Chain A
Amino acid sequence: MFVTEWNSSALVKAATKAGKKKNALTPMTFSLLHATDFADRLLYNIIPPLKAGMIVLADRYAYTAFARDATRGVDNRWVRELYSFAVRPDLAVYFRVPIEVSTDRLMARRVKLKFYEAGMDMGWSSSPIESFRIFQGRVLEEYDRLVEEFSLDVIDARSSITEQQRAFRKLVTRHLAGAPEEQVEAEPMETTEAR
């Protein structure tokens, strides 16, 4: 398409940012804005390279929305139908960590937790760390259900980066070996479980 790609991504980002800054997002608008951003990236950044036969590495995909939105109380069937325009990934890998490890790593890296990341909008705790622990703990439980529902491949993210990378490469290699040269057909992402 035109050279408008960057502008349009930035547009959705601007709305999300404005909403986040004012803490004005509800679980529904949070969900819908992320779906809008995803649609934008799908159409401009994901589908064109797929059509060209390239490999797209996606840092988070629709599953992130499934897990977070369900935790925020949005109907999970609705979210799955919302994302039915998404291309189903050829390989989806979930890096699993227990909540304690996740919290420790975050604390070690950063001082301040972001409002929505910590699930502060849910009002479960006025302490950001406590809120993060409760919110992300529930998000992780959702992910465990998603692993089943969408047959995600799981990597134990407690291990060292080298070990994780080794496991990851093994999964990707195995997948690419079994995959035909050009796998570009866009399959709508729907599951029978979600219906």
Chain B
Amino acid sequence: MTDSTPHENGANAGVRPGHYYGYGIPYLPIDGYPGKIIAIEGTDGVGRSTQIRLLREWLEVQGYGVIETGWTRSTLMQPTIELAKSSNTLNKLTFALLYATDFADRLEKEVIPALKAGFIVLADRYIFTALARAQVRGIDRTWTRNLYGFAIAPHLVFYLKIDERTLIRRVLESRGMNFWESGMDLKLADDIHDSFRAYQRSLLREYNSMADEFGFRLLDAKRKVEAIQEELRRQIGEFLAESDSRPI
């Protein structure tokens, strides 16, 4: 694969929210669909799922239809991805493609129908996780972005930003470090702690470099759960009011 400048038809800046990043899915035109995609991004252990649970409650109380979609949760691909992770036999390219297949399955079967019906889609991670992981593994940037050219640009992307030290403490306090979250497949270090640190550091660098390009709204993940939630609700509330989105 050759390295070149980002392709205009890949996942890139300058795409209007609710539109395909690139070539899209020709047999599924989505123009004018009333739903919204709100993505919460951030590395492992920053508290995304807690925030999404709280957001969902808040939105539903106001009468909005809400669906959640999350990384590797497609019915088609979840068992395969789990198996791939447990056997550690796939290489970086096939892994990237399995993730993309999972994303495509969820996009077509969950996200697009929800957008059509005017729902709010809360995405626990979006394509940015895939872009960061692929980039850290040395996969050609242009290729990955073209690959996700079928994705839809979210209306809002919140990035829960955390520093490496806080992240390490949090992960150790909660569930410990696992093979994949530590990027042990990259053989950065024999020791899981050292590998985790090196891997997460590279991932954080990738997320940061995408922040401007994709218009991330940064939130300090070190703040209290309630404080982050309050900020999320404030920004989402403003957005929904401006976009004239009404509960369905």
Q: A104 to chain B: closest CB distance in Å?
A: 31
> Does A18 make an interface contact (CB < 8 A)?
yes
Taking the nearest CB of chain B, how far is it from the CB of A27, in angstroms?
A: 7
From B109, which residue of chain A is reached at the shortest CB distance? A26
Query: Which of A18, A32, A85, A188 has the most CB atoms of chain B within a 10 A radius of its CB?
Result: A32
In the complex, number of A-B residue pairs with CB atoms less than 8 Å apart: 105
Please indicate the chain A residues that have their CB under 8 angstroms from the CB of B7 in the complex. 81
B147 to chain A, nearest CB (A): 6
Q: Which A residues are CB-close (under 8 A) to B143?
A: 81, 84-85
A170 lies within 8 A of chain B by Cβ: no
* Residue B146 is within 8 A (CB to CB) of chain A in the complex: yes
Residue in A11, A29, A78 whose beta carbon sits within 8 Å of that of B105 in the complex: A29
* Bound Cα distance from A28 to B146, whole angstroms: 14
Interface size, chain A (Cβ < 8 Å): 35
- CB of B50 within 8 A of chain A? no
**Most B C-beta atoms less than 10 A away, residue of A14, A19, A39:** A39
Within the complex, the shortest CB–CB distance from A138 to chain B, in Å, comes to 14
Q: Which residue of B lies closest to A4 (CB)?
A: B89
Bitwise interface map of A from 67 to 80 toward B, beta carbon under 8 Å scored 1, else 0: 00000111101100
Is the C-beta of B98 less than 8 angstroms from some C-beta in chain A?
yes
Binding site for B on A (CB under 8 A): 2, 4, 7-8, 11-12, 14-15, 18-19, 24-29, 32-33, 35-36, 39-40, 43, 72-75, 77-78, 81-82, 84-85, 188, 190
Q: A2-B89, A15-B76, A39-B93 are in contact. List 9 more A-B contacts (CB 8 A).
A: A4-B89, A8-B87, A26-B109, A39-B97, A40-B91, A75-B23, A75-B25, A81-B143, A85-B140
B interface, CB within 8 angstroms of A: 1-2, 7, 9, 22-27, 75-77, 79-80, 83-84, 87-91, 93-94, 97-98, 100-101, 104-105, 107-109, 140, 143, 146-147, 149-150
